Structures are given as C-alpha cells and as structure tokens.
C-alpha cells in the first residue's frame, strides 16, 4: 500500500465507529451524559474508565493506561499493530474482510528489549570516545574510506591507527573528539556542509 492520503485517513476516522469496535471486543458501553462509558480493554479496570465520544469518534481512558485517540489509535492498541497496518486493517474491516480479534489486547510490546551498549552513568566524553572508536574501526574497514585517504595522499596505516579517522561530521558537529589510542582533543565543530 502506498502513502495513505489524508482525506482517506480522515474518512476512516469518521466512518468506522470506535464504539462499535469496542463492543465487538466485549466492552459493555453505557451512556453517561454525551459519552459512552465502559471498562477499559487495555488494563484491569475495577471502575469503568474507558470513554467514547460518539460525536467526535474518539476514545480515552481516564484510568491506569491514560490512553486515547481516534479509531486508528484504538485498532493499533487493541490489535498490537503499527499505523500502516491499522489503516489496512480498517480498510479490510470496512469491506467486511476482517473483524476485531477476540483475544485480549496487546498490553505490552512483544519485541525483545536490547540491553544498552552504554553504561547509563557514563559521562559524555566516555560516550563520545566509545563512539569515536567505533567510527574509527568502521573507517579502517571501509574501502571507500581507504580510497579517500589515498586521494589525499595519506597512505600510512600507522598514521590512521595513531591519530584516528579524518573529519567525521554528523549534523555539522565533529563527532571524533578523541581516539582511545591518542589523548589529543579535536575541535568540536565542522566547518564543511
């Protein structure tokens, strides 16, 4: 599916009822003033805290999860899918091709959490040094980088090992602050675009 036109997104937000999807997932909604109220399907709810405003077709939880949004947000959260998949799901629902799953909504991510490669207590200089060492190793293993050095007349592998990689800039900032093998401090600004 290509980029989703804004008018298509807005049409689905208006046309597909959040209340209907919530009821299909087993949420019993009762009218309270201008809103519908029920137990939130996204957390254990002893006191109904899930509200749907039918006039604007938005929902919000005033309880533990404090979530809310449009019909797209409801599908993303209840089906455990990303925005694009939620849009495809809603288009399929509109055509009668899909129905809300009967299983409990996804409450936490199923993606495996990766450990941070850095110590959260590290100071900025230690983080920059580690990043500089990484960039230096990548630079040494990249044929295009070696060609860059040769083009500039810098062919000594010993020089690269001792002083690090030349001007590696990201967003106008020079990220090579120091190299573990050299106590030399480099400038922190790049002048090139």
Query: In angstroms, rounded to a whole number, what is the distance separating the alpha carbons of residues 105 and 94?
Result: 20
Query: In angstroms, rounded to a whole number, what is the distance separating the alpha carbons of residues 47 and 39?
Result: 7
Query: What percent of the chain lies above the pLDDT cut of 70?
Result: 72
Mean pLDDT of 20-25: 90
Confidence of residue 193 (pLDDT cuts 50, 70, 90): very low
Residue extents of the structural domains in the chain? 6-94, 114-193
Please give the mean pLDDT across all residues of the chain.
77
Q: Is the pLDDT of residue 163 over 50?
A: yes
- What CATH homologous superfamily does 6-94 map to? Zinc finger, CHC2-typedomain (3.90.580.10)
Query: In angstroms, rounded to a whole number, what is the distance separating the alpha carbons of residues 155 and 150?
Result: 5
- Positive/negative CA dihedral, 69, 74, 76, 80: positive
Mean pLDDT of 60-80: 90
Q: What b/e sequence results for 149-170 when a residue is b if at least 16 CB atoms lie within 10 Å of its CB, and e otherwise?
A: beeeeeeeeeebeebbbeebee
Mean pLDDT of 72-81: 89
Which pLDDT value is given to residue 131?
A: 76
| pTM (predicted TM-score) | 0.54
């Amino acid at each position: 599916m290509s980029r989703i036109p804004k008018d298509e997104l807005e049409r689905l937000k208006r046309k597909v009822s959040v209340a209907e999807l919530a009821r299909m997932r087993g949420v019993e909604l009762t009218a309270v003033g201008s809103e519908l109220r029920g137990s939130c399907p996204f957390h254990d709810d002893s006191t109904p805290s899930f509200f749907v405003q039918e006039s604007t077709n938005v929902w919000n939880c005033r309880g533990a999860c404090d979530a809310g949004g449009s019909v797209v947000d409801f599908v993303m959260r209840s089906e455990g899918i990303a925005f694009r998949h939620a849009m495809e799901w809603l288009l399929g629902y509109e055509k009668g091709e899909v129905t809300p799953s009967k299983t409990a909504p996804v409450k936490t991510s199923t993606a495996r959490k990766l450990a941070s490669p850095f110590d959260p207590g590290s100071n900025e200089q230690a983080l920059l040094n580690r990043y500089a060492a990484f960039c230096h190793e990548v630079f040494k293993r990249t044929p295009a980088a070696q060609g860059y050095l040769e083009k500039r007349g810098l062919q000594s592998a010993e020089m690269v090992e001792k002083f690090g990689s030349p001007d590696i800039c990201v967003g106008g900032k020079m990220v090579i602050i120091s190299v573990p093998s050299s106590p030399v401090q480099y400038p922190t600004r790049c002048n090139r675009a």
